Chain A
């Protein structure tokens, strides 16, 4: 029995990290750049997340939105919706937060090698995808086409506008953007309509393509249907899920979907797997 094993250090014990940079991205989202105080690297995979704490307030799972191929810092994008996220938004560079993780499976990078990557991002869903996009850009030769479909409710909600601009400059990335609606006085060059309106605008090779989809729950059903229509195999449609989470280690029970734990078995699941899970409702 494993009971005889040594008491290791507690998985509930966060490491302290320093906020290097805090940058507003939109009305509700801020980008945080952090570095672990003990000098270690986070060593994450694209698509993984960390549990971020503000001591005394609480903890929340937040996707890592930078690629491990960059430097020893990492970036998070946080939307202010409640206690923990609100407290994070009040912090300044130099302040300390707690970090546990990385947790979760992340995107299956080795299975993506040589493949065309179809990123479909709804709103804040771009944040977890960004770690993979950056990774693919940094190791550009290892992957096929990189296509990004990015939908927001309105132009002002677009994140990473600077970086998007850089990506648009690159010949080896294809980007299509949409907004649900656009105020009359705002200049907008992309499409207007829900994100699925972008699909007819790209031609993909379904056999070579893996779709990486992150967005609000309502988006999934439509995007998955569209991907299937394009002929992408169920196994090649990857989704990252959000659930209530308390521990990140498969103990607390909150994130369970049928017999899967989003924090450990996910957050990235193939549609093939989710379609077998009654509770995923996909």
Chain B
């Protein structure tokens, strides 16, 4: 029996769902191996009988909480995908302001019609079975997770920092170029794609299980960042994980 797959979008840029659609070469095999039954962005058909729910985006409204609870009830496996769903991601920024102010400022008189709550990752609302981090998710990792689930394996979640893969692909460390990087404390598995792509690691895959935050802060300071800059660096994708890095 092919597993029945649903893909849901919450508050996000939908780039992670797009990454699924970007598996152009694998698409025929994916369609053959999976029974994709709900995927609003590309499907009109839909069904509520799914085994695995992939969730893109973070939870930012009351109605999304309700929707998540319903998904949890129906799905055997819930797998958040992407920084917004796994970490809260960039959405967590609005949490820094009181929600009534946010609403009033935006909608004025109409505020009571709208529903906004502090942004949060999916696991803060419902229990999850696994997660695929990244902003956006890495196509190859998505495929691998699907393969492992199909094979009856618990999917592998990398816990080595980005630096390790950055070295494996042979990058020159950006600290050597006078830039700064969150690679030493960020969960690898992306092949250090941002450094390889000419940028730095912004921490989109979240922190590793036991990050040495003090050591990281020390090297950022040594590289000339102010406390404010360091906070910004961490808060780009990890604003909701404040308790770990503050």
Which chain B positions have C-beta within 8 A of A57?
151-153
Residue pair B151, A56 in contact (C-beta under 8 Å): yes
- Rounded to whole angstroms, the CA-CA distance of A56 and B151 in the bound complex is 7
B-side residues, CB < 8 A to A, are 151-154
12 A–B contacts, CB within 8 A, in A order = A56-B151, A57-B151, A57-B152, A57-B153, A58-B153, A82-B154, A83-B153, A83-B154, A86-B152, A87-B152, A87-B153, A90-B152
- Rounded to whole angstroms, the CA-CA distance of A83 and B153 in the bound complex is 6
Interface size class of A (residues with CB under 8 A): under 10
Which chain B positions have C-beta within 8 A of A58?
153
- 8 Å CB interface, A56-105 against B: 56-58, 82-83, 86-87, 90
CB distance from A30 to the nearest CB of B (A): 16
- Rounded to whole angstroms, the CA-CA distance of A90 and B151 in the bound complex is 12
CB distance from A95 to the nearest CB of B (A): 13
CB distance from B79 to the nearest CB of A (A): 17
- Rounded to whole angstroms, the CA-CA distance of A66 and B49 in the bound complex is 48
CB distance from B147 to the nearest CB of A (A): 9
- Rounded to whole angstroms, the CA-CA distance of A252 and B98 in the bound complex is 53
Which chain B positions have C-beta within 8 A of A90?
152
Q: B155 — nearest CB in chain A belongs to which residue?
A: A83
**Interface SS of chain B: helix, strand, loop or mixed?**
loop
CB distance from A223 to the nearest CB of B (A): 32
Which chain B positions have C-beta within 8 A of A82?
154
Which chain A positions have C-beta within 8 A of B153?
57-58, 83, 87
Which chain A positions have C-beta within 8 A of B152?
57, 86-87, 90
- Rounded to whole angstroms, the CA-CA distance of A87 and B151 in the bound complex is 9
Which chain A positions have C-beta within 8 A of B154?
82-83
- Rounded to whole angstroms, the CA-CA distance of A86 and B153 in the bound complex is 8
- Rounded to whole angstroms, the CA-CA distance of A86 and B151 in the bound complex is 12
- Rounded to whole angstroms, the CA-CA distance of A82 and B156 in the bound complex is 12
Which chain B positions have C-beta within 8 A of A56?
151
- Rounded to whole angstroms, the CA-CA distance of A82 and B155 in the bound complex is 11
For the A-B complex with A57-B152, A82-B154, A83-B154 known, give 9 more contacts whose Cβ atoms are closer than 8 Å. A56-B151, A57-B151, A57-B153, A58-B153, A83-B153, A86-B152, A87-B152, A87-B153, A90-B152
Q: B153 — nearest CB in chain A belongs to which residue?
A: A83
Contact with B along A46-63 (1 / 0, CB 8 A): 000000000011100000
Which chain A positions have C-beta within 8 A of B151?
56-57
Q: A83 — nearest CB in chain B belongs to which residue?
A: B153
- Rounded to whole angstroms, the CA-CA distance of A87 and B152 in the bound complex is 7
Q: B151 — nearest CB in chain A belongs to which residue?
A: A56
- Rounded to whole angstroms, the CA-CA distance of A229 and B117 in the bound complex is 66
CB distance from A45 to the nearest CB of B (A): 32
- Rounded to whole angstroms, the CA-CA distance of A137 and B154 in the bound complex is 41
Q: A90 — nearest CB in chain B belongs to which residue?
A: B152
CB distance from A86 to the nearest CB of B (A): 8
- Rounded to whole angstroms, the CA-CA distance of A57 and B153 in the bound complex is 7
Q: A56 — nearest CB in chain B belongs to which residue?
A: B151
- Nearest 7 Cβ contacts at the A-B interface: A83-B153, A56-B151, A57-B153, A83-B154, A87-B152, A57-B151, A90-B152
- Rounded to whole angstroms, the CA-CA distance of A90 and B153 in the bound complex is 12
CB distance from A270 to the nearest CB of B (A): 35
- Rounded to whole angstroms, the CA-CA distance of A90 and B152 in the bound complex is 10
- Rounded to whole angstroms, the CA-CA distance of A122 and B187 in the bound complex is 38
- 8 Å CB interface, A83-135 against B: 83, 86-87, 90
